[in-house]
Structure 1
Amino acid sequence: MPDSLVAPVLTPDRLASAYTYTAYRQLVDAALADNKTTGPEQSEALTAYTRLNVQRMQRLDKTTWVLPELAAAVANLRQNYIWLIITEGWCGDAAQIVPVLEAIAQASGGHFTTRYVLRDEHLDLMDRYLTNGSRSIPKLLVLKPDTLTEVAQWGPRPATAQQLLLDLKAQGATHEEYAEKIHAWYAQDKTQATQQELLALVQGLE
């Protein structure tokens, strides 16, 4: 379908109000300093999750190494793209994935520009990208910078982690139980599954 017949994912003004990675991290840190998290829903549990997530993001910022084949793929792209990421500070999956997305974008030499929006401030956008009817995040939308039309999407988590989550829920696991197992999976995987899936996404762009 010609791009002219495809609706933009969002308006330029809305994109302009999105956060850079640094601004997003500062937003989460500022909320946490007030014992809060991002979004309208506030609780001690969500604040505790956010505190853990900041530690996860700090660790991944320091330890994430982009796979050589992925670094080469993004650096050799002929076109530029916007990576729009739907996220929230309290989301554990986002904490495991957002730093990886940022590292990949940084490795692209300017081919990817990341912008971050909060899920609960953009529910109309989020509801276009539901996962099994759920507002699962993070969600990556790859957009053309001139038209803001979507060319690819990914998320909310690698397929193996998604299947693990579905299996655990089917077994009746509580939130605490499946969160523990999912984060153990992320720790063991060391971002490899996320990077391999994003490599496939990048290879499909051109």
Structure 2
Amino acid sequence: CRRVLIAHHFDEVWDSANCNRMCDNCCRENSCEKMDITGYCRDLIKILEQAENMSEKLTPLKLIDAWSGKGVSKLRVAEVTPPKHPREELERIIAHLLLQQYLKEDFSFTAFATISYLKIGPKAGLLKNEAHVITIQGITNKKSVYKDKSSQSSNSKGSRGNAQTVSKTVQDSVVKKSQEYKRPNCGSNLKAKKLKLQAGGDDQPVVLD
């Protein structure tokens, strides 16, 4: 429950049952499960150790590329198998390891920017114990009620938009045709007025041969 997380941040207590499916996590049709990311953490540390031996600094983006088997080939580690999770999930795992201090940030300050590099954190030594386990809580099914409603509303908006476009096209064609029918009458009226003016005004009759 998102409200439980916010309450925990502010040292308050919140019962998830009181949320009533109002936050983005509770409204999902799902169940939460814990995922073991201990092996992923060991793989990331191997990549960082190799980069440190090569005097290379890795930003979070470069670390994810090397972890996924992409980017510069020299930064990859042969023993590391690229994970099959989407990139967003990999970013969430790295963020979790940063918060739990298995990884740490090393900032480099320049005149124009501040660059964040990743290094091995103080808790990485705990992984020497084979019994040590790192878990992260995730959602199995990411189907959201809000997402379904938004997709339905977007579809209905799209259908209404198409109907409005068609009706506007029909209306424009009708107006165009009516203008085409009126144009000859307007031209003849202007021609008659011009002839009357040339003949000396509207009071005098004009005889045409």
Q: Shorter-chain-normalised TM-score: which range? A: under 0.3
Please tell me whether Structure 1 or Structure 2 has the larger radius of gyration of its CA atoms: 2
Please, what TM-score do these two structures have when normalized by structure 1? Answer: 0.22
